[in-house]
């Protein structure tokens, strides 16, 4: 677009695969999508933190595990949660 000064700042329009060098900070990318029907979306992605690999044969348990509960009503949902807590 002629309205964007691509020479100012650290923004560039990528048209082919490009090396993304380490800078000592997490890499971040903005992704935009503009639909013909007027639907617009934008998201910002950030590089995940480095996690040290476990030693061979060592089992690592995740620090957080999502648990999905489902029930027909609040009483049943609370009962389901209580069963999980007491397990």
Segment 10-21, tens digit of pLDDT: 777 788 998 888
Name the H helices within the chain: 74-86
Q: How far apart are CA 61 and CA 22, in angstroms?
A: 29
Total domain count, the chain? 1
User: pTM above 0.85?
Assistant: no
Say if residue 39's pLDDT is above 70: yes
Residue 36, domain member (yes or no): yes
Residue 1, domain member (yes or no): yes
Residue 79, domain member (yes or no): no
Residue 31, domain member (yes or no): yes
Say if residue 62's pLDDT is above 80: no
For residue 74, the model assigns a pLDDT of 94
């Amino acid at each position: 677009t002629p309205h964007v000064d691509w020479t100012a700042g650290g923004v560039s329009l990528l048209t082919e695969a490009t090396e993304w060098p380490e800078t000592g900070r997490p890499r971040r990318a903005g992704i935009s999508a503009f639909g013909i029907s007027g639907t617009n979306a934008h998201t910002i992605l950030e590089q995940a933190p480095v996690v040290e690999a476990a030693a061979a044969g060592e089992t690592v348990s995740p620090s957080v595990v999502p648990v999905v509960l489902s029930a027909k009503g609040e009483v049943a949902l609370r009962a389901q949660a209580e069963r999980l807590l007491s397990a």
